[in-house]
Amino acid sequence: MDSLAEESFGEILENWGGFVACTETLLKGKGDPSVGSQLVPLVATLCVHGLGSLAQDHFLQSLAETFKTNVVSKFWQQFHAYRDGPRLNVHEDWREEVLNKSVEEMWTDHEDWHEEVLNKSLDEICTERSYMEKCVLVLVHALQSYDEGITKGNIEFQHLHSHLISRFQLMVSSVLLTTLPLHFPEVLRLYFRKKLEELSTIIAGEYEDGCESQIDDHYFNQQTKRSHLGDMDTIGTYSAIAISNDNSLVKSIGKVVRELRSLGFTSLTEDAYASAIFLLLKNKVHSLAGDEYRSPVLQSIKDWIQAVPLQFLNALLVYLGESIDYDSSASGLKSPLASCPFSYPGIDTPSEGLVRWQLRLEYFAYETLQDLRIGKLFEIIVDYPDSSPAIEDLKKCLEHTGQHSKLVESFVSSLRYRLLTAGASTNDILHQYVSTIKALRTIDPAGVFLEAVGEHIRDYLRGRKDTIKCIVTMLTDGTGGNSSGAGNSGESLLEELTRDAENQENADCDEDINSDEKQAWLSAERWEPDPVEVDPSKCGRSRRKIDILAMMVSIIGSKDQLVNEYRVMLAEKLLNKSDYDIDSEIRTLELLKIHFGESSMQRCEIMTNDLIHSKRTNASIKASIPQPSLEGADQGKTNLPLNILDVTIISSNFWPPIQEETVNVPSSVDQLLSDYSKRFHEIKTPRKLLWKKNLGTVKLELQFEDRTIQFTVTPVHATIIMQFQEQTSWTSTNLAAAIGIPVDLLNRRINFWVCKGILAESVGKDSNDHVFTLVEDMMDPNRNGLTSSGYEGLITADEERERSVASVEEQLRKEMTIYEKFIEGMLTNFGSLSLDRIHNSLKMFCLAEPPYDKSLQQLQSFLSSLVSEEKLEMRDGMYFLKK
Amino acid sequence: MFPSRSKMKVKILNWHAVASWTWDAQDETCGICRMAFDGCCPDCKYPGDDCPLIWGACNHSFHLHCILKWVNSQTSQPHCPMCRREWQFKAWEQRRRGFQLETPGQC
Ligand SMILES: [Zn+2]
Ligand SMILES: [Zn+2]
Ligand SMILES: [Zn+2]
């Protein structure tokens, strides 16, 4: 036994030594055929002694050693040069930088550097690898020869072969991956980027040349006859050019991919070209979309995806022999995507892999475009409706990504710091609000997003004093004189809204809101839907109409307040413009009636009726009195002709409180008024007139020796200047007494004539008493821009004119003063109170005549007027008594 | 400084005045509906010509529509709701004359 064992032992040692030496020769030597045959007996002997697997292990380990020391380190060294390249190791900034740099710039720096290096070193390492694979085959052969002596079957051999080869593969990739330098993935990415750029440029050039077929056949198989089918309707997009898999560019890329895969870099490679493709796509989206909001870009992007990356991928997959649908046979589970009606120009049957790529790329495009648009949503809305193509694109993107909440967050924050600031005028905010509503109706038919956005804007606007006035002006003023001039001039917002509502009525029954879409919004926002609107019974459509008017009213608080403000503004307009376009106001009124109900607008209707009746009365009174022919007569002396007089006769109970001031109008005018009065009383007995002499407008002509100037002014202004016919110089005291108005009012009003250069002001004997003198000679004809017989348009600057009717605030103020003491008392007791507390206390305790019936908004505006009078203070939503 | 006669003349091209109308009645409100005379009765939308006042022989005035309703609702001979005197419409001419003669208060 011992001798046998010793003998065997010696034999084993001898054979093992031979095997090791042989292996080394095999691995070092290049293709010495004799080594293979030497190996066969050695392996056989070792196998006999049960050392076959040990031999395999040793063999592979030696391979690994050799591969690592001789091949891999050399391979990585090739790329050392690029390790410190700024674009290669600044991983994080890389994308940004690429985005900022043009592609050409990128690549002219690099020339063809690593394309060559990569190709060459890949070739080398693959040669080494395949030599080693051959070595493995030699071992396999040796083992096989031994096996054949014992068993007679190919199964064992097959198994052995694949087992050893896969161990070898594993060894290769693990050696490479464990030594992988950090910058290598970047090298690959750059390589693919460059190649894709080349391809893209070629295709784009192709596109621009309009397919005049000067394409190198070497590069392309042109298939211009093919057109996009299915859902890809093409509008002036890339013509269908199929990149064939024997295109040399694709070939060279394919070769690199194949070599990389053989080295075990399969996923690394795919990552690299995927990220190159995505980057390219991102660049494309940015360059196509950019700051262009006025034309749709989504379709062009999708077409580009078809034309460039998908063509490339298809060619690549075909080249790599993977165009066959490998999934369908592998599992019974067929992807639901496979049924999608995609069509690929020049590709007859897209593989599932390609379909998946398309979905990935398109999703990425949606997301990129969506982010781009959301980031600029504020500008897009400012540009609305011209920017509606961008809105449409965004809508489509969101339908695919479902990232509505992103839009909400981003837009609300941009509103906060760009719009809802002290610097923005109320008008601008309102216009932007309306544009926002209009623009987002498309994206958000359910109105969920608007609810959120609107809340911010409404809260902000409630704190502004001029909000109601601006809203009313915006709604009813058709002159379009207000800043941002979006929309048709000459058409008020109300008219537009009414027209929209009518159109919506007509179109509504066809389009039903996609409930998924609404669901997407709701889940995106996690809001409770408005319970009133949820009722789906109405005509089978659960659509919540986005009512711009209602949204505007909700800023104000109630429609009554809006109507009130409108009434005051209407009164101002009707009283201060002698030739007011009453027809347009009646039109507005009719529209308001539609929206707010007839009874709400009754008082306003009476006001406009008064104007219509006044015109009739004027005509009949003038007709009833024989006109003395006074042409050329001196107005100063004789009676004025009645035909210069027009009267607006108001039903004062229905008008806002009138600001009455006494004024002694010139006696000739006074005579005219009382003649008119008498006549009115005769016609309309038992009704009589009460004059509001300070109200109205006077058109007059100042006649100097060398010039005449026309003005349209208030009766007080007219009365003032007429005093200077008799006497060229007046002190303010005397003049005020003559006219019958307070001196301070006179000083304010007379200023108009001083500004126009008609009167000159000087300080009299008493420094408080100013002296006004008529400027009879025009010393400087250009003074104050006056030219002879020039017509000085309408009255004056606004501050000159005092209001004819009490403003809503003034009325409210009057009604609220009785509660002022009560509020003060509460604040003395409690120190500080919130708006709600004050409101509720007033409701609870002020039940006596008149009971407290004001809205929260009204109370708030009253309190803020007390704050501005420094009676109260407001901090953090609490009111305090000002100490 | 001597105030002198000016060489400037002011020619009024148009004087657009504002006035309010009112019923020439003794009371402010209608004794029947308690609404202002210068407003209108509860059944009317527009004041003035559309909802006139009417005087009784007793010289009390009401909205025409209010007193007509009152008169029609009375089963027996109607009386003035204010003074309980027998209600009779004052003749238009009579009233006008009354004003011209300035002899009110025959009530
Ligand atoms: Zn009445
Ligand atoms: Zn009536
Ligand atoms: Zn009576």
Contact B14 A698 (CB under 8 A): yes
- Residues across chain B: 107
- Cα dist from A67 to A119, A120, A180, B36, whole Å: 19, 18, 14, 111
Flag whether pLDDT at A301 surpasses 50. yes
Flag whether pLDDT at A520 surpasses 50. yes
Considering only residues A324 and A618, tell me which one the structure prediction assigns the higher pLDDT. Answer: A618
Residue of A605, A653, A697 lying closest to B16 (CB–CB): A697
Least confident of A185-199, A317-331, A531-545: A531-545
Q: Which domain holds residue B43?
A: 24-96
Contact A175, A65 (CB under 8 A): no
- Residue whose entry in the numeric block shows the structure tokens 């890949």: A122
Flag whether pLDDT at B20 surpasses 90. yes
Shortest distance between the Cα of A722 and any Cα of chain B, in A, equals 6
Average pLDDT of span A578-589: 80
CA quadruple A508, A510, A511, A516: dihedral, nearest 10 = 120
Mapped onto helix, strand or coil, the DSSP state of residue A601 is: helix
Band (A701; pLDDT cuts 50, 70, 90): very high
Q: Which residues of A touch B4 (CB under 8 A)?
A: 727-728
| Chosen CATH of A6-80+113-181 out of 1.20.120, 1.10.4160, 1.10.3470, 1.20.190 | 1.20.190
Instruction: Output the domain CATH number for residue B57.
Output: 3.30.40.10
Query: Residue A831, Cβ neighbours under 10 Å: how many?
Result: 11
Substitution target from B1, B14, B54, B64 for chain A, most A beta carbons within 10 A? B14
Q: Can you tell me the distance from the alpha carbon of B27 to that of B82, in angstroms, rounded to the nearest whole number?
A: 12
Considering only residues B103 and A157, tell me which one the structure prediction assigns the higher pLDDT. Answer: A157
Substitution target from B20, B93, B95 for chain A, most A beta carbons within 10 A? B20
Least confident of A340-354, A814-828, B49-63: A340-354
Q: In what order do the strands lie in the sheet with A729-731?
A: A729-731, A770-774, A759-763
Tell me what pLDDT residue A561 has.
Answer: 84
Fold held by A808-881: Arc Repressor Mutant, subunit A (1.10.10)
Q: Name beta bridge partners: B14.
A: A699
DSSP A231: T
User: Would you say residue B13 lies in a domain?
Assistant: no
Tell me what pLDDT residue A822 has.
Answer: 83
User: Would you say residue B1 lies in a domain?
Assistant: no
Average pLDDT of span A478-506: 59
Contact A469, A565 (CB under 8 A): yes
Q: Can you tell me the distance from the alpha carbon of A306 to that of A203, in angstroms, rounded to the nearest whole number?
A: 11
- Residue whose entry in the numeric block shows the structure tokens 């919130």: A834
User: Per the structure, how many domains does chain B have?
Assistant: 1
Mapped onto helix, strand or coil, the DSSP state of residue A506 is: helix
- Which chain B residues in 4-43 lie under 8 Å from chain A, judged by CB atoms? 4-25, 36, 38-39
Mapped onto helix, strand or coil, the DSSP state of residue A673 is: helix
Q: pTM of the prediction? A: 0.64
Tell me what pLDDT residue A541 has.
Answer: 37
Ligand 1 mean position, distance from CA B66 (Å):
5
Question: Residue A60: what residue type?
Answer: L
pLDDT in tens, A524-560: 554 444 434 333 333 333 344 567 788 888 888 788 8
Assembly ipTM: 0.85
Tell me what pLDDT residue A821 has.
Answer: 83
Band (B95; pLDDT cuts 50, 70, 90): low
Mapped onto helix, strand or coil, the DSSP state of residue A188 is: helix
Q: Can you tell me the distance from the alpha carbon of A344 to that of A381, in angstroms, rounded to the nearest whole number?
A: 36
Q: Write out the DSSP string of A341-381.
A: ---BTTBSS--HHHHHHHHHHHHHHHHHHHHHHHHTHHHHH
Report strand pairing: A729-731 vs B53-55. Answer: unpaired
Q: What is the domain partition of chain A in residue ranges? A: 6-80+113-181, 182-190+201-207+244-322+352-400, 403-476+494-502+543-557, 564-623, 657-781, 808-881
The answer for residues whose C-beta is within 8 angstroms of residue A466's C-beta and 6 or more apart is A426
Q: Which of A126, A141, A129, A146 is CA-nearest to residue A33? A: A141
Tell me what pLDDT residue A110 has.
Answer: 53
- Is the domain spanning A657-781 CATH 3.30.230.130? The answer is yes
User: Would you say residue B19 lies in a domain?
Assistant: no
Span between the terminal Cα atoms of chain A, in Å: 118
Contact B8 A776 (CB under 8 A): yes
Mapped onto helix, strand or coil, the DSSP state of residue A624 is: helix
Ligand 3 mean position, distance from CA B105 (Å):
10
User: Would you say residue B18 lies in a domain?
Assistant: no
Substitution target from B12, B26, B95, B100 for chain A, most A beta carbons within 10 A? B12
User: Would you say residue B44 lies in a domain?
Assistant: yes
Tell me what pLDDT residue B66 has.
Answer: 93
Tell me what pLDDT residue A692 has.
Answer: 92
Q: Which residues surround ligand 2, an ion (CB under 5 A)?
A: B 41, 44, 51, 65
Band (A739; pLDDT cuts 50, 70, 90): very high
Output the average pLDDT for chain A.
Answer: 75
The answer for residues whose C-beta is within 8 angstroms of residue A467's C-beta and 6 or more apart is A426, A430, A461, A555, A556
Task: Report the interhelical angle of A404-418 vs A515-525 (nearest 10°).
Answer: 60
Q: Which of A568, A504, A571, A573 is CA-nearest to residue A541? A: A504
- Cα dist from A36 to A25, A45, A73, A149, A163, whole Å: 10, 15, 27, 18, 20
Band (A411; pLDDT cuts 50, 70, 90): confident
Contact A703 B12 (CB under 8 A): no
Q: Which residues of B touch A685 (CB under 8 A)?
A: 24, 96, 99
User: Would you say residue B4 lies in a domain?
Assistant: no
Q: Can you tell me the distance from the alpha carbon of B103 to that of B90, in angstroms, rounded to the nearest whole number?
A: 14
Flag whether pLDDT at B92 surpasses 90. no
Contact A407, A398 (CB under 8 A): yes
Band (A71; pLDDT cuts 50, 70, 90): confident
Q: Which residues of B touch A722 (CB under 8 A)?
A: 10
Query: Residue A252, Cβ neighbours under 10 Å: how many?
Result: 13
Q: Which of A590, A582, A604 is CA-nearest to residue A494? A: A590
Residue of B1, B13, B18 lying closest to A692 (CB–CB): B18
DSSP A68: I
Tell me what pLDDT residue A350 has.
Answer: 65
User: Would you say residue B91 lies in a domain?
Assistant: yes
Ligand 3 mean position, distance from CA A395 (Å):
74
